[in-house]
A and B are shown apart, each in its own frame.
Chain A
């Protein structure tokens, strides 16, 4: 019994050890070399067209991954491998080494700038509301939602809109965390929420696909500024970020940047007229 038993335990331990050994080691130095050697960069996306999208065949598209794919190619990293994540899980996932970079339309805000190393701005957009036809509650800003005790707002968990709603004073129990765009739209149609907030282009994409005349869009939301996202790297990977910025600047200059993002409806002029420094300082 003793030996059998020991063997059983050893087999269990062995299975575990095999598991652990298979895990990739993480290192901060020479991150770019590491990515080149591995042949791909792991990016976090959100499946929120037109920022990020997954097609029927599983192919990743959307403006943010397209720009990242192009920049990484120029840096010598062949491809990107995307995993879909909640907005709120992206930064913890980055810190936990789950992905190498976030390319998901995660807008720059001062507290996010403190948590990650952003590239220069890539995609800019204002915020929008989708709500029932005729806007029965007359909601035009996050403040309006806060002031109306009956208004429930849906927003992606950990996304910019959730934070804006909370900052405007909407209590936690009226900010409903919505897992994805389709759920948000459905909850709006079903009357579970009164307003669903996303960036303008995302809302337009969602509402035009739904083709539902009972839904209307308020864009932009009053009092919410235009935000821009950047590719977000882990603190400590600034060297990689700087290399990314150099290639990104070249793309912007050559006009290829515009060709990549404008078909999705984004303005390249908006991204080029501002800087990370300004956006991260803005309150």
Chain B
């Protein structure tokens, strides 16, 4: 079977349609992850002990099980208890919660890396809790988190093809549906790979820039 350029041009618009959905899923998934991660991190650090432990276990559980199975769960099991999400929304929530657990760890280590002396100094200068967070802790904690968070953003982007398993017509699913009706896998699959590679290479350059700009948070 030979590579066919005409076929490539023919399927390109379909794949671009899919790419749009992939990008939407990534962006909204990242937004959900950022918020969910913050909730997890705060609960784990400040909630009463039993709650903090329960949250800790939940985070570990989500991190220790495959996203694919979690997606099946959200899509096929939740409707039984009356939660019926459209496929794309289910996918965004799945991605967001899964990567939220990773984001939570980044937040936590970022905040814990702010030296104790800073807290004490804030107290000594009579800053309120709100002032302490906004003016002292977060400005120091956030910059080192940025490269680590960006790393997970890229990782999440690369996991979006899993959404095809719950019928979201993203890039991979469009490629499969093209392959299904033409019996050709070479061009669509290779093109999907090329799309991902190009996007990743661009984001790697961006990531290097972020890493140079902000100090890198310690690998945990």
Contact surface of A with B, Cβ cutoff 8 Å: 86-89, 91-92, 95-96, 115, 157-158, 162-163, 166, 172-173, 176-179, 183, 186-187, 189-192
Across-interface contacts of B180 in A (CB, < 8 A): 86-89, 157-158, 162
A215 to chain B, nearest CB (A): 15
Contact surface of B with A, Cβ cutoff 8 Å: 1, 76, 79, 84, 86-87, 165, 167, 169, 173, 176-177, 179-181, 183-185
Across-interface contacts of A183 in B (CB, < 8 A): 76
Q: How many A-B residue pairs have CB under 8 A?
A: 52
Complex A-B, nearest 8 residue pairs according to Cβ-Cβ distance, in ascending order = A88-B180, A158-B180, A190-B79, A92-B185, A91-B183, A115-B183, A176-B167, A157-B180
**By the criterion CB–CB under 8 Å, are B184 and A191 in contact?**
no
Question: Given that A92-B179, A162-B180 are known contacts, is A177 also in contact with B173, CB under 8 Å in the complex?
Answer: yes
**By the criterion CB–CB under 8 Å, are A173 and B169 in contact?**
yes
Question: Given that A177-B167, A183-B76 are known contacts, is A157 also in contact with B87, CB under 8 Å in the complex?
Answer: no
**By the criterion CB–CB under 8 Å, are A178 and B167 in contact?**
yes
**By the criterion CB–CB under 8 Å, are A177 and B183 in contact?**
no
Interface core residue of A95, A96, A157 (most chain B CB under 10 Å): A157
Candidates B86, B177, B183, B185; contact of A157 at CB < 8 Å: B177
Question: Given that A95-B1, A176-B167 are known contacts, is A186 also in contact with B181, CB under 8 Å in the complex?
Answer: no
B62 to chain A, nearest CB (A): 23
Of chain B, the residue at the smallest CB distance from A159 is B180
**By the criterion CB–CB under 8 Å, are B185 and A96 in contact?**
yes
Of chain A, the residue at the smallest CB distance from B183 is A91
In the complex, A173→B170 CA distance in Å?
A: 11
Of chain A, the residue at the smallest CB distance from B80 is A190
In the complex, A186→B84 CA distance in Å?
A: 12
Across-interface contacts of A86 in B (CB, < 8 A): 176, 180
What are 11 of the A-B contact pairs (CB < 8 Å)? Answer: A86-B176, A88-B179, A91-B183, A92-B184, A95-B183, A157-B180, A163-B181, A177-B173, A186-B79, A190-B79, A192-B87
